Structure formats: structure tokens, C-alpha cells
Chains A and B, each alone.
Chain A
Amino acid sequence: MSISAILKSSIAKKWLMALTGLFLCLFLVGHLLGNLQLFIGGWDGTVKFNEYAEFMSSNPIVQTVAWITKILIGVHVVLALLLVINNRSARSTNYKYNRPDKNAKFSSRTMGWMGTLLLVFIVVHLVNFWAPMHYDNEFPVQLNEAGNYYTADGIEQVNSYLQKVEGKQHVFINKVDMGLAMRDLAKVTKDFFSKTENGVTALLMMILYAIAMLAVAFHLSHGFASAFQSLGINHKKYNGMIKLAGMAFSFIVPFVFAAIPVYLYVTQA
């Protein structure tokens, strides 16, 4: 079969959907493990999380994987659109009376809708944190009680001050450039969900994030196990395991994700 014929085929599209979907599941695990550090309180937690954030936004391997993730989200979305257009046209006249609830689960029938909700959330989430971190030259930087700044490698610079070099915030000691300042993503994140810092927006965002994670839960509760079926992995011996793993994954991952904004909102003044 030629490559174009393969890509035209319905089954090939499903493989790609499944493979990109499973890759994005791996991404969720990685993202969640990193975010767990937001549960660590105090100065220690702030330092740990900021060091982690600086590592993630500078390490070339991580950055490559991040771009691959963004591209694969795009592939997943474009394929979904192609599939939906194709599926809609496959039934030009709808039933006057239909009971899809009699033969299929809600989560399986709403993959497109939940996916759309997720895409909107991803954009909102990137605008909230990723975009300012990468493009805002006034992004808050880490400053300890003694009034010292930190360089991005995590070293405290005593008697330091900030100065812009080519628009970026650098740490200086006695007019010597010590390097890029460590940005304070931990504070930004915590303030974002803080009643005093962000007012009613904090509450609305917490609710939005929780709803988005509910969409993740529904999307995964069908998508995870379904990906295996699409790839042709359907075997009496392993079906139970895949189903159980899918259920656990689709419950635990979004639940812990959602717990972070809720925790930050509830525990902060």
C-alpha cells in the first residue's frame, strides 16, 4: 500500500489516534509528577519547584519532548476533526428517535466534546502559565527573606540586584552579570489560586480547572482502553488488566491534578 493510501484508510487513522493518545497519557504522568511538588509548603517547596521549572524550560531534551508533545496534540486534534467530518457524513439523515444510551457508554459517545473542552483548557492553561513564563520579561523572580536573588542554576547570589540584559532579567553583583535570574513560577502559581492575590478569579479558575479535569477523566475512561483496541490489542488474558488500568488511570490522574488548585485555594489565605 502506498503511504497516501495508508493515511486515507480509516484503520490507519485509528492507529495514529491511539498512538498519539497513549503518548499524551505518558505526558500526563510526567506533568503530574512534576506538579506534585506544589504540595510541598514553605520556602523549601518554592525552591524545589522553581529549580524544577527552570530545568524543564532549559533542558534541550525536555524542550524537544515538549515540542513533540505540542505537535502530537495537534496531530491528535487534526485526526479527530478528520474522523468527525467523515463520521458525520456517514449518516446524512439522522434518526428521529434514537437511544444511544441503550447500547453505548456516555464517555465513549462524548470523546469529541470532551476533547474539545480539553483543547480549550490546554490553551487557557498555556496562557495562564506557559506563555508568561516564556514571553513575559517582567515575570516575578525568586527572592529570599534576606533580599537575595538566585540565578537560574539555583545558586543564591548574596548582595545581588536585578538588571535587564537584552530584555531578560539577569542577576548582578557589583556590576558583574551572574546570569539569568531564577523565575518564581511557584509564587505565580500559588498566587494564581490565592483568594487575597487573585480575588474571585482564583475561585473561578479553581472551578474551571476542576471541570477540565472532569473532562480529562471522561476522555481517559474511554480513551485509554480504547487505544489498545484500536491497536488490535484485545486478548482474553489481558483485557481485564487493560480495563482496570484504564479505570485507575482515568480516576487517579485527573483527581490528583484537580487536587492541586483546590489545595492551593483552600490552604492559602
Chain B
Amino acid sequence: MATIKGMNLTLKIWRQKDANSKGKIETYKVKDISDHMSFLEMMDVLNEQLISENKEPVAFDHDCREGICGSCSLHINGEPHGPDRGVTTCQLHMRKFNSGDTIYIEPFRAKAFPVIKDLVVDRSAFDRIIQSGGFVSVNTSGNTQDANALPIPKADADKAFDAATCIGCGACVASCKNASAMLFVSAKVSQLSLLPQGQVEREERVLNMVSQMDDEGFGNCTNTGACEVECPKGISLENIARMNREFLKATIHKEE
């Protein structure tokens, strides 16, 4: 086993008591951080330290710590989910940093993602966008249909699956200079519009989801591609183009 390197770090962390308070950056120091730790484990060490000093621990979102739930967030050194590519913050290892580093840790910033406390933001705008997409019609008469009975081209199935890997963490919004949610929304639109099961509500879905996205106060897309770079699941910009097409088709075709 590799030797465990003890890292000493300076952390500049956004502290905010609650949604209505004015927050500010506070400086903390942590010692002997193992390079095997994940970023969130390092945050745990800091919180243990704060608790032992009778101070309020730093609030941050986390759940599975396996990179699949989309709970963890954090804007680390100017990038959502930190400097590594294709990983969430929980999967970001401390070996990506060096002893003596100063690390800035801020919440994801967007008007549609208001800060609840410290580094925790309210991402329920994403839930409302999903809800606005509505249901997928399923045939419930008679026997359950075999999933394989519907032939789907391999390329379409792959693309739908790639889009479906979006965990809704919001890194796309956090990285976008316009705080646009188009990568997220386009992944959700694409996933169903590519599959036969998604055809029935195809037009309503894209119109409603885009309209909800705009109502939530997310910005517009400038095609900078920052979202695609920072996305822990590698969701492609191709999805945004697809959403633009779907929206165009639905707008022209739908009567009401």
C-alpha cells in the first residue's frame, strides 16, 4: 500500500446561517489529510474538528458517496465538483491537491438554486422541471408487455441511455456563466424522445419542461460548453441541440 501523505490545507469556505442571512467566506485549517480521502471525507474531518471546538459544523449535501445519487455539489476552486473530470465531489480524491494548497469551497450559485445553509442549496427547481414533463403512457390492459418486444436501434438506445445517466446534480447550472439548466433539461428531454415509449407525450413534454425551466429563472445557453466539461456524467451538448430541434418541431406542429 502506498504511504499515506499527510496534507495540510487552508480552506476558504462559504458560511451562511440560513437562506435570509448574508454569508461570507471563512478560513479554516485542516492537518494530516490523507491523499486517499475523498473530498467529502476531508470535509468530515473539518466538521469533527469544528464540533470538538464547539463550533457549528459546515453544512453540505451528500448521500450515496458513490457518485450516483447527485446529492453532493460544491464549487471547488472555481469549478463544480472540483478540478477532476467525470466525477462528483464525493468521488474527488484529495490526491488531486497538494499540501499547503488553499481551497475555495462555495455553494452552487444560481438564482434558481437559493442557498439554504452554508454549502447546501435548494435544487428543487429541477424536481419541478421533471414534474412538468408529466407522465409516460403505459399500456395497462392485458398482460405486461415484454420490454424486448419493442425494437429500438442500438444507436438510439445508447444515446437514450447516455442521456439517462444524468444524476441531476446541477453542476451544469453551477458551471454555466449564465446559470443555464439546458444540459440537464435536454438530457431529460432526449432520454424519452429517443425511445418509442416516450413518443406519446413527446411534444407536450419538451414544451412544458422548457417553459418550466424558463419560469424557474435559469439563464440562456451561449454554447460555451462549460456544462459538458464539468458534467460528472459526461452528458453531451448534442442533447441541447436535440432539445432545440424537439422544441422547434413541437412549437410548429402543436395546435394549441
Contacts and interface: CB of A to CB of B under 8 A. Distances in A.
Interface string A223-249: 000100111111000000000000000
A72 to B, nearest CB: 19
A90 B111 contact: yes
- The secondary-structure label for the interface of chain A is helix
A99 B225 contact: no
Interface residues of A, number: 41
A154 to B, nearest CB: 46
Contacts of A6: 251
A28 to B, nearest CB: 20
A11 B225 contact: no
B124 interface: no
Interface stretch (A105-113, A126-134, A158-166, A207-215): A105-113
Contacts, number: 138
Interface stretch (A37-45, A46-54, A60-68, A81-89): A81-89
B51 interface: no
A1 B182 CA distance: 20
B220 A86 contact: yes
A97 B111 contact: no
Contacts of A168: none
B233 interface: no
Nearest to A101: B78
A95 B119 CA distance: 12
Contacts of A90: 110-112, 178-180, 217-219
A171 B178 CA distance: 58
B58 interface: no
Instruction: Point out which of B104, B182, B223 has the most chain A C-beta atoms below 10 A from its C-beta.
Output: B223
Contacts of B25: 96
Interface string B236-256: 011011111101100100101
10 contacts: A1-B254, A1-B256, A91-B111, A94-B109, A96-B106, A103-B229, A105-B224, A222-B224, A226-B223, A229-B241
Given A10-B219, A104-B225, 12 more contacts: A9-B210, A10-B180, A14-B221, A87-B179, A87-B180, A89-B217, A90-B178, A91-B178, A93-B109, A99-B78, A104-B229, A229-B244
